[in-house]
Structure 1
C-alpha cells in the first residue's frame, strides 16, 4: 500500500513474466503470418518425395481490367514410374486455435449428380497420352463431398469468404500452370526437335488449414440448429473433404483470353514461326485448341481438397496412391488443323 495515498500498488511483474509474455506475443504474431505453416507443409511434401517450389506466381486480371501478379503458397511436383508428372498446387491457411471451417455437404440428387468430377484433371494439350480420371472421385464416401464452407472463429467472427478466396487463388494459378506446361512442351520441341517427349501430366489443388474441418449433418431442420448446444450436435469432424466449386463466368472469360494470347495460331507463329508449329502439330497427338479453350481450360479445376494440417501427410500419400491408379492411353490421332479454325 502507498503510505501517502492509501492506494494499493499493484505488484511489479517479475522479469520472467515479462519475458514469457513477450515470447508468446512474438510466437502468436509469427504463426499468424502463415510462414510456419507454409514451411511445415513444404517439409511434409518433401518427405513424401515431391519437389517443392515456394510461392508459385501467376498473372490475373483484376476488376479494373489490369493484369496483376498473384501467387499461391506452394507447388509440388512428383514423377512416377510411368513418367506421369503430378503437380500439386497448395494454398496454406493458418487459423487461430478454436477456428472451425463448417462445410455444406453435397446432397445433389439425380440427375444433378450423374457426372461426379475427379479431383485430378489431366492436361492433354501437346501431350502424347491422355488421362482417364473420372473414376477417382468414386473412391471416397459421399460424406467427404461438400459444396461450400464458412469460417467461424472461436470468438464468434464469421468469415464467409475465406474458403472461396483460397479456391479462387488456386483456380487462377492452375490455369496459368496449364498454359505454362503447354508452352514448355513447345519450347522442348524447338530445342530437341519434333521427337521431344511430351509427358502425361495431371494436377490437383489443395487447401491446407489449421482450422478444424466440420461437415453439416444431412437433412437438418432450422430447429435442430437452434437447439444445438455444440458443433457436435449438427456437424461431423473430418480430416479432409473434397470441395466441388464450379468456376464463374469471369474465370471462363479469363481462361479463353489467356489461352488465346499464348497458344493461338497467331501467338505461336509469332514466337516460334510457322515451321516449328507445323512440326509440333505433326508429331503431337493433341487435343485441338478450340475444344481445349471452350472445354477443360475454362471448367477446371472444379474440385479442391481441403485438408487439416495434421492429416496432410496421410492424405497426400493417398493422392499419390490414387495417381498410380490413373488410367493412361496413347493418343493415336494427330492434330487436325482444320479443327482449330
Structure 2
C-alpha cells in the first residue's frame, strides 16, 4: 500500500495529459510545424454565460501555397480503455468525401487550380462512438473532445478567409490555400464495429475483437447540430459586416458568388464535417501516417492518377450502359444539375 502511494504521482501526471501533449508537440516540431499549446476561444456555456474554451495544441504546417492548421485535442486514457465507433461509408447520402476532414478553404483564392477528386482515404469513416472503461461506459469523453474542436473551427476558417480577402494580407496570401484539420489523439484503443454486426452477435461475443476491428486511426463524421450551426452563422455574420459584403463579393472566387449562401452552407455542412482520431503510440505512427497522407494530397503520385483513370473508365462504362438501357434520358445532365444544387465546394 505504501509503495502504491509513493508511485501515485505517476498516475496523476499521466492523467493530466501533459506528457501526451509533450510527446505530440515534439513530433510536430520534428516535422517543422509551428506549434503552441492551449488555443483558446470564447463561447457561451450551457448557462448562456461567455466562457473560455480551448483545445490542447494548435500547429501550423506550411508546404508551398498550402497552409495547414492542425487543431489537436489530446486525451490520455488508461491502456485498457476502448473507444468504440459505429461504421459509416464515404460518399453515402451525407456526402462525406475522403479529404473532407481537411476542410479546404480557397474561396477568395486568386488561383485557378484543378480540383482532384482524391480517391483514397486516410482511415475508415465512422459515426458516433462511446468510451468503454473497466468501470463502465463514459458517453461524454468523445463528445466533449469533438465539441472543443468543432466550436473552434469557424475562427480558423474565418482567419483563412481574412488572409485571402483582406486588402493588406492578400498581397502575401491571395494564392494560399488554407486547411483546418481537427485531430483527436488518444491513448485509448480504437475500435470500429463491423458493418454486418447485429445485437444478437454482440450478445454472443466473448471479446470485442469478434464484433469490431482495431484501427490505428479513423475519421468521425461530425455534421454540425443546430446550436453549432447558429454559432457558426453568428461568427460569419460578424466577419461579413466587419469586412463589408460588397468588398468580399468582389474578391469571392468560389462555387457561389453569394457570400451569405456560401457561409451558411459552410456553417451547416463543413464546420466541421469530419474529425480525425488517432491512437497514440511511442513511435507516433498515426501522426506520421497523417503527414504522409497530407503530402500525398498536395502532390498526388502515379498510383492516385491510375486509380482516377480507372474510376473514370468505370464511370464511362456505367453511363454508356445506362444510355443503352434508357434511351433519351441524359443521366449526366441530371447528376450535374443535382451536384450544382447540393455542392458544398469542399470536395
Fold-level match, TM-score > 0.5? Answer: yes
Post-superposition shift, 1:323? 3.7
- Residues 132 and 226 (structure 1 numbering): CA distance in 2 closer, same or farther, change over 3 Å? farther
- Residues 21 and 65 (structure 1 numbering): CA distance in 2 closer, same or farther, change over 3 Å? closer
Q: 1:295 aligned to 265, 275, 278, which one?
A: 265
TM normalised by structure 1 equals: 0.76
Post-superposition shift, 1:164? 1.6
Confirm whether residue 144 of structure 1 aligns to residue 129 of structure 2.
no
- Residues 259 and 111 (structure 1 numbering): CA distance in 2 closer, same or farther, change over 3 Å? closer
Confirm whether residue 94 of structure 1 aligns to residue 70 of structure 2.
no
Match of 1:339 in 2: none
String of CA shifts for 1:185-216, please: whole Å, max 9, x gaps.
Answer: 556x34x7x74432211121111000010111
- Residues 96 and 134 (structure 1 numbering): CA distance in 2 closer, same or farther, change over 3 Å? farther
Match of 1:197 in 2: 173
Secondary structure of 1:112's counterpart equals coil
Question: Following the alignment from structure 1 to structure 2, what is the Cα–Cα distance between the partners of residues 298 and 131?
Answer: 25
Moved more, 213-222 or 238-247: 213-222
- Residues 33 and 111 (structure 1 numbering): CA distance in 2 closer, same or farther, change over 3 Å? closer
Confirm whether residue 177 of structure 1 aligns to residue 156 of structure 2.
yes
Post-superposition shift, 1:135? 3.1
Secondary structure of 1:72's counterpart equals strand
Post-superposition shift, 1:94? 0.6
TM normalised by structure 2 equals: 0.75
Match of 1:49 in 2: 32
Match of 1:11 in 2: none
Post-superposition shift, 1:22? 3.9
Map 1:262-341 → 2, pairs under 5 A:
263-265=239-241, 267-268=242-243, 278=247, 285=253, 288-300=258-270, 301-310=272-281, 311-325=285-299
String of CA shifts for 1:101-137, please: whole Å, max 9, x gaps.
Answer: 01111158x962655362221223443247777734x
Secondary structure of 1:295's counterpart equals helix
Question: Following the alignment from structure 2 to structure 1, what is the Cα–Cα distance between the partners of residues 288 and 267?
Answer: 30
Q: Is the 8 A contact 1:216 1:234 kept in 2?
A: yes
Post-superposition shift, 1:179? 2.0
Confirm whether residue 27 of structure 1 aligns to residue 10 of structure 2.
yes
Post-superposition shift, 1:40? 0.9
Q: Is the 8 A contact 2:252 2:259 kept in 1?
A: no
Map 1:136-285 → 2, pairs under 5 A:
136=118, 138-140=119-121, 144-153=124-133, 155-185=134-164, 189-190=167-168, 195-198=171-174, 199-261=176-238, 263-265=239-241, 267-268=242-243, 278=247, 285=253
Secondary structure of 1:149's counterpart equals strand
Question: Following the alignment from structure 1 to structure 2, what is the Cα–Cα distance between the partners of residues 126 and 107?
Answer: 31
Q: Is the 8 A contact 2:96 2:221 kept in 1?
A: no
Unpaired runs of at least 5, structure 1: 1-16, 327-341
Question: Following the alignment from structure 2 to structure 1, what is the Cα–Cα distance between the partners of residues 187 and 55?
Answer: 17
Bigger radius of gyration: 1
Unpaired runs of at least 5, structure 2: 301-347
Number of aligned positions between the proteins = 292
